[in-house]
Chain A
Amino acid sequence: MHPILKLVAQRLALGLLLLFAASILIFVGTAILPGDVAQSILGQSATPEALANLRAELGVDQPAITRYFSWLGGVLQGDLGTALTNGRDIAESLSTRLGNTLFLAFWAALIAVPLAITLGLLAVRYKDRWPDKLISAITLTTISIPEFMIGYLLIFFLSIQLPLLIGGMEFLPDGLQSWLLSNLRFSSVALMNDSMTLIEKIKSITLPIMVLTLVVLAHMMRMTRAAILNVMQSAYIETAELKGLGMLKIIRKHAFPNAIAPIVNVVMLNLAYLVVGVVVVEVVFAYPGMGQYLVDHVSKRDVPVVQACGLIFAAVYIGLNLIADIVSILANPRLRHPK
């Protein structure tokens, strides 16, 4: 078998194993959570009998091992169970939420990843000169401000101050002014529903996209810069310089291909963050994504929902890191072209 196939198969198997381990951790973690779902549904005044009946009905009185395997068996068949609090099918409610989260993450990534890598390349090209310092200063500033703060700042300036500003510009022709007002409108609430067109949806999440981009930019940009600078120390970069090639061409043709592995790793880590870590942004913009769904049900002690969300987050995390691993393997010419 080609060594690459073998390595990739190994990684896939490891990924599945890891996911299995994560499922156990999630289950154990939710099992030892304090609180009682029956109590939280029926309230403080419920009688012990009523509580016991409800527990039996919900199946939470079974031993943990039994519950784990029946849960796992269901998950493997695509059945995530029903929410304890409202009796709805979790898979169904989750799919819309997950779709929304992925939609937001996708657009944020589409802007943030190329931007971060380009900025990283530019920072290397102008290392220790003002463009490098400016890029670092801006991205480090945005990563240092808490996300909710960036969110509220953007809402304040773009969805409140900007229309006022444009509205005050009486010197503009009426047509242009109204065009600007209708097109430069940034919604402070990221509404989402099926009747919206794609353009409308994107417009609706412009601000969350901006916040997420600003949050993940610095990490990827700094890592790209560091990885390429590391490669730039190599003797083959000197060879390229002594061929008379220009700096940008050297970075693009000779340094970047050898820096792919670390860059892909940090990109995947940030993509995972875009899916798993967006709770705050979803709350700020009232966006109907996974994060809000999870937080809501944690507070209601709705364990099956928490488990399902945890499992999906784990799968996304492991899956993206798996992709990073595999890309790193493929990027290594020694593995791709064995002797």
Chain B
Amino acid sequence: MTDPLLKVRGLKIGATIYPPGEKSRDIEIVHGVDFDLEPGKVLGLIGESGAGKSTIGLASMAYGRGGVEITGGTVEVNGRDILQSGLRDVRRLRGAEVTYVSQSAAASFNPAKQIMEQVTEAAIFQNKFSKAEAEARAVELFRKLGLPDPENIGARYPHQVSGGQLQRCMTALALCPEPDLVVFDEPTTALDVTTQIDVLAAIKEAIRDTGVAALYITHDLAVVAQVSDHIMVLQQGAMVEYGTTDQIINDPQEDYTKALVSVRSITHEEKKPTATPVLKVENITARYSGTNFDVLKDINVELHPGQTLAVVGESGSGKSTLARVITGLLPPSQGSITFDGRPLTPDLATRPLEDLRELQMIYQMADTAMNPRQTVGTIIGRPLEFYFGLKGAEKQRRIQELLDEIELGEGFQDRYPAELSGGQKQRVCIARALAAKPKMIICDEVTSALDPLVADGILKLLLELQKIEDVAYLFITHDLATVRAIADSIAVMYQGSVVRYGPKSQVLSPPFDDYTDLLLSSVPEMKLGWLEDVLAHRKMESAGN
């Protein structure tokens, strides 16, 4: 057995937290983790948010983000304990022996500098290469990573390339100094599913060709299964299970791992359309003021009472714009919307209160959709007052009823949003929408910011509530697994048009149009070798590259 490149023993990481209204206190977020990584191998770190994956990844560069501090254990890189090294030695390690690829390349590139300068900076600064050598190497990496015009793309600024391209540039940045180890921190999570697959393939190939070792951090087991040799499953700062990729995927031992592997356990019977739809969108075309192209082109969809219409597509396909048109935030240039048998006015300002009440919305970011200085009770109570004029004890009773419906208990009324977890926040937003007793709720990517298991719980809750309240959902998402789980009918959007529309069973059965085929085949599957299979059988290139 070769000596490990990275040897982590008893790694403990702590942080100082500042709870509102309380004294700050120290907590431990990683409780003694051990693992080895051999040269040229890829280890996947998987877990939900808060599991400590990123923190462990950054610890291999002796770096603590924010107030995070490494409190115990050893981290050896190439035989040296980097936690005992001085800052000077650590700085010689970073950007030379170990490099980092972050989740959001868009934020991690300096907007004021050209890409080439940033890609080669570490290699030159660390005296690995001369400027000319580093630039030649960068161009070589750009080519290997499948970037267009590799000779000249380095002269561009970060805002001049797409998200998928920038993520590849970030990979080039990490590989340029010929490191021994690259920490990939959710490198494809922020990308569209059809873009993710190409970036994933490019990363995998680059890892193989350069022989670099990698820590691959993600919450998506299906993704990590495509690139890693071993997988370590983490939960709340402790290791749950460690094994080869094959063993974790096909023969998980621990209950938690099993739950991760079999996530999306929801089965949903498709409901038949009823006679009168609650929402009828006819020939809607819309554009934003000041632009000269239509973001929505001739959209026709229907939503039936108590059912779910899923609108799927990549970012920029126009799905959120459709929601803006239906809610009246963006009056369409053509077409009409019928809601519950009556026409909706195009502009929000002219809609009667009754229309506003019956059409509610839930957002992707529960965090920013709530006033951080209001308690949960106030937040949920507001629509009760506004639409029904409820006050005092009656309002309290109704708030408690709603809290019970979303499976939050007694003590939640007086809590502030900051004291809730991500899933709990989204539940409060659901309760707020339900408080208006709407006929229809627009759910805009409501589970995208949540961990898979939490998202699963939210979807189950939404389905449950649909049964009780007979409310219809217009469910906007880019996640096809979610669509499979909850939709009755599906509209696939691509570049502002609906390219495929119908009952779920029909939309998801072949023969497919090219785009739907691309979209469906791009969803990572939890099986080894999926990536290679799918790339070999594609009919259409994704647009986001």
Residues of A participating in the B interface, judged by any CB pair closer than 8 Å: 234-236, 238-246, 254, 257-258, 331, 333-334, 337, 339
Contacts and interface: CB of A to CB of B under 8 A. Distances in A.
Interface string B40-71: 00000000000000000000010101000000
A333 B159 contact: yes
Interface of B: 61, 63, 65, 90-96, 99-100, 102, 104, 107-113, 118, 121-122, 125-126, 156-157, 159-160, 173
B110 A246 contact: no
A235 B104 CA distance: 8
Task: From A238, A242, A334, name the one whose CB has the most chain B CB atoms within 10 angstroms.
Answer: A242
Task: From A243, A254, A257, A337, name the one whose CB has the most chain B CB atoms within 10 angstroms.
Answer: A243
Contacts of B102: 235, 238-239
Contacts of A241: 63, 94
A240 B112 CA distance: 13
A241 B107 CA distance: 14
Contacts, number: 75
Contacts of A243: 94-95, 99, 121-122, 125-126
Contact of B93 (A234, A239, A244, A334): A244
A234 B65 CA distance: 12
A337 B157 contact: yes
B95 A242 contact: yes
Given A234-B107, A241-B94, A243-B95, 11 more contacts: A235-B104, A235-B108, A236-B107, A238-B102, A242-B63, A242-B95, A242-B99, A243-B126, A244-B94, A244-B122, A258-B112
Nearest to A234: B107
The 10 A-B pairs with the shortest beta carbon distances in the complex, nearest first, are A243-B95, A235-B107, A243-B122, A244-B94, A244-B95, A244-B91, A257-B112, A236-B110, A242-B100, A239-B108
Chain A binding surface SS class: helix
A242 B125 contact: no
B75 to A, nearest CB: 15
B111 A244 contact: no
Nearest to A246: B91
B93 to A, nearest CB: 7
Nearest to A242: B100
Contacts of B121: 240, 243, 245
Contacts of B159: 333-334, 337, 339
25 contacts: A234-B107, A236-B107, A236-B111, A238-B65, A239-B100, A239-B109, A240-B121, A241-B94, A242-B99, A242-B100, A243-B125, A244-B90, A244-B91, A244-B94, A244-B122, A244-B125, A245-B91, A245-B95, A245-B121, A245-B125, A254-B110, A333-B112, A333-B159, A334-B111, A334-B159
B1 to A, nearest CB: 30
Contacts of B111: 236, 258, 333-334
A291 B65 CA distance: 52
A239 to B, nearest CB: 5
A288 to B, nearest CB: 44
B9 to A, nearest CB: 23
A333 B96 contact: no
B157 A258 contact: no
B40 to A, nearest CB: 22
A100 to B, nearest CB: 39
Contacts of A240: 110, 121
Nearest to A331: B112
A243 to B, nearest CB: 4
A335 to B, nearest CB: 10
A257 B156 CA distance: 17
A241 B121 CA distance: 12
Nearest to B92: A244
A218 B107 CA distance: 32
A243 B102 CA distance: 13
Nearest to A245: B125
A339 B118 CA distance: 19
A239 B121 CA distance: 11
A259 B86 CA distance: 30
